[in-house]
Structure 1
Amino acid sequence: MDFRVEGVSHSFEGQPVLTDITCGFRQGELFSLVGPSGAGKTTLLSLIAGLLSPQAGTIRYAQTPDLNAPIILVYQDFILFPHLTVADNVGFGLKARKWSRATRRNRVEQMLRYFQLEDKADAFPAQLSGGQRQRVAIARAMVVSPAILLLDEPFANLDRSLKMETARFIRSTQREFGMTTVAVTHDLEEAFAMSDRLGILLNGRLRQVGPPREVYFHPQDLEVARFLGPVNPLTPATTADLLPPGTDSPSKASFIRPEALEVEGDANGPGCIRDIHFAGHYIMYTIDLRGQEIIVYSQQRVLEIGQRVRVRAVQA
């Protein structure tokens, strides 16, 4: 379901938490709100869910949410019923809607198969891993076919090794069911991997909205750029060194990502390699470029400390 947040502001005890938030959310997309702790992400999610009423502005839905087209919020601690089995947790919303026992059982069995929980149907939440509890919570939400699914910090209680796997699972599930989904998270790598669009929320203001690649490589200002990851601020002199003659700036602002640069040896180059670090899936070169430190990420270790180099911007 499409919906739109228009000019929404909210405060707690006189302290502004959200200020003039305006954004449209599209049918069937997965939209991630990212920002540091205290940025207002969960407050905005609670407003969308109807748990809070905005003190200013409105939230307009394409159709009024109701029992047959609900908004479902999955909390970061999952809030499963500890005294109910997995099957009963998943079927709770259907029972509350007074579905028949047989219809309810068939629907729950479908969900358990999809979420690979068939062998856990009779288990209790305390017997499950964190990843399994999360799948139960999402299955319980999906079983009632929500118009809008809201995920509050879906990676918060997961081991690092499970986060990317979970991001891929959430993405494939969201595509399979085709529902509008909004997730709030501070896990940037996972948000990039699973989202159609990102909204950057800093200090209660929505600073930028767009596809992950666009927002990452073309942030609107240095504060947004630094929140999303390492960035090289540029002076006019270093910008000229990075670009072939006659080309446009690689960014709307005077900064560029380390992975949007390439470096090659050049005895007459304006740069000099000052340090080299192996960082797992890339080599990090620290380069002195006319007195300014520039960081470049490269896949190959072909250069040495002290070597003269030329640094160029590549298409991002």
Structure 2
Amino acid sequence: MSQIELKNINKSFDGKTILNNISLKVEEGERISLLGPSGCGKTTTLKIIAGLLKNDKGQLLIGDKDVSKVPVEKRGAVIVFQDYLLFPHMTVAENIGFGLKMAKKNKNIIKEKVDELLKLVKLEGLGDRYPDELSGGQKQRVAIARALAVDPKVLLLDEPFSNLDTGLRDEMREFISNLQRKLNITTILVTHDKEEALMISDRIAVMLNGEIKQIDEPSEIYKHPKSIEVANFLGNRNYIKGNIKEGKFETEIGLFNIDNREQKEVIAMINPEDIYLDNSSNEGLEGTITEVRYAGDRIYYKIKIKNKQIRVISNSDKVYRLNEKIFIHMDFNNGVFF
């Protein structure tokens, strides 16, 4: 069983708290991302799971066993770093088989396993090459194959795509997703890339300042963040202050009908892609376009309404122009209230 559970994990360096009561449960075969900015504790968490660092407090369970004091080689968790860390003087086959050699496995068993993994990671025929003869994507596949050679229970990936160019990054995301699905291996991915986490995770744990702020499915965590802090990290949102009273939301830019009838003062968050533009009628809120950024499949706008700048993302074929008058439509029933 390869379920992982972290219970109130704490870690400090030189008196500075890096991890503060981290609790996380990863189901067997699940793919989860630790998403957060640099320095928030993501890699430290990964290293504690792998056994490369010891937690100060808390429990770490793999299956139903507390492995906090179990040495690295007996945990069943392997980590693949962003720099691959391949041995330059060893061939691809020797790199992949290194862990098995250290475990004193029979040479025939090692060769059989290496051949199997070369096929699995689509590197057949490259076993005799050296790392400096490989592309970035090929090096990454070798590092993954080397990790899988020891039949781990848990695969840990530390920013695995950060050294790759855009096209190769997309290819490797798809490759790792398919491989993880095929092997059904419990996988934890560390990333600061929001799109990456949203695209390839079963669930996402957002980490900020050494704490997990929210754990949820990608669509839920994007559409319904539990705090402005989480919302901000996941993208540029629109925040509009106002008061709810008897089904009306009175704001600095206008009055809106909403389903909520509870009376309270709130900050409403509405996503840029949930706002619609129109210049064919005089309905909606009138504004002026102050910024246009064309990105092929989408267009980014900033629109000034009264003294408020509103962000809009449109996937319409129609491109509106700078300083053009425009009407926007906002449905706060799709928003989140803080």
When the two structures are superposed, what TM-score results if normalisation uses the length of structure 1?
0.91
Identity %: 39
Give the aligned partner of residue 331 of structure 2: 312
Q: Is contact 2:51-2:75 (8 Å) kept?
A: no
Instruction: Give, in angstroms, the shift of residue 270 of structure 1.
Output: 2.0
Q: Distance in 2 between matches of 1:233 and 1:44?
A: 32
Q: Distance in 2 between matches of 1:234 and 1:297?
A: 17
Gaps of 5+ in 1: none
Gaps of 5+ in 2: 243-249
Give the aligned partner of residue 260 of structure 1: 274
Q: Distance in 2 between matches of 1:128 and 1:274?
A: 48
Which residues of 2 match residues 204-219 of structure 1 at below 5 A?
A: 204-219=210-225
Q: Distance in 1 between matches of 2:255 and 2:186?
A: 41
Q: 1:243 to 1:139 in 2, by over 3 A?
A: farther
Which stretch of structure 1 is more off in the superposition, 58-67 or 151-160?
58-67
Instruction: Give, in angstroms, the shift of residue 4 of structure 1.
Output: 0.9
Instruction: Give, in angstroms, the shift of residue 38 of structure 1.
Output: 0.8
Instruction: Give, in angstroms, the shift of residue 95 of structure 1.
Output: 2.2
Tell me, yes or no, if structure 1 residue 230 matches structure 2 residue 236. yes
Instruction: Give, in angstroms, the shift of residue 297 of structure 1.
Output: 0.9
Q: Is contact 1:41-1:201 (8 Å) kept?
A: yes
Tell me, yes or no, if structure 1 residue 94 matches structure 2 residue 97. no
Give the aligned partner of residue 274 of structure 1: 289
Which stretch of structure 1 is more off in the superposition, 52-61 or 256-265?
256-265
Give the aligned partner of residue 50 of structure 1: 51
Question: Deviations along 1:217-269, whole A, 9 cap, x unmatched?
Answer: 211111211111111112223599696543699xx962122113223344142
Instruction: Give, in angstroms, the shift of residue 127 of structure 1.
Output: 1.1
Q: Alignment partner for residue 154 of structure 2, among 138, 148, 151?
A: 148
Which residues of 2 match residues 154-233 of structure 1 at below 5 A?
A: 154-233=160-239
How many matched pairs? 314
Q: 1:28 to 1:138 in 2, by over 3 A?
A: same
Q: Is contact 1:5-1:59 (8 Å) kept?
A: yes
Structure with higher strand content: 2
- What root-mean-square deviation, in Å, do the aligned CA atoms of Structure 1 and Structure 2 show? 2.5
Q: Distance in 1 between matches of 2:312 and 2:111?
A: 56
Q: Is contact 2:275-2:312 (8 Å) kept?
A: yes
When the two structures are superposed, what TM-score results if normalisation uses the length of structure 2?
0.85
Instruction: Give, in angstroms, the shift of residue 142 of structure 1.
Output: 1.2
Q: Distance in 1 between matches of 2:214 and 2:253?
A: 27
Structure 2 residue matching 1:120: 3-state secondary structure: coil
Q: Distance in 2 between matches of 1:291 and 1:122?
A: 65
Q: Distance in 2 between matches of 1:280 and 1:247?
A: 37
Which stretch of structure 1 is more off in the superposition, 4-13 or 184-193?
184-193
Q: Distance in 2 between matches of 1:75 and 1:302?
A: 43
Q: Is contact 2:277-2:326 (8 Å) kept?
A: no
Structure 2 residue matching 1:273: 3-state secondary structure: strand
Which residues of 2 match residues 105-144 of structure 1 at below 5 A?
A: 105-144=111-150
Q: Which amino acid aligns with 1:118?
A: E
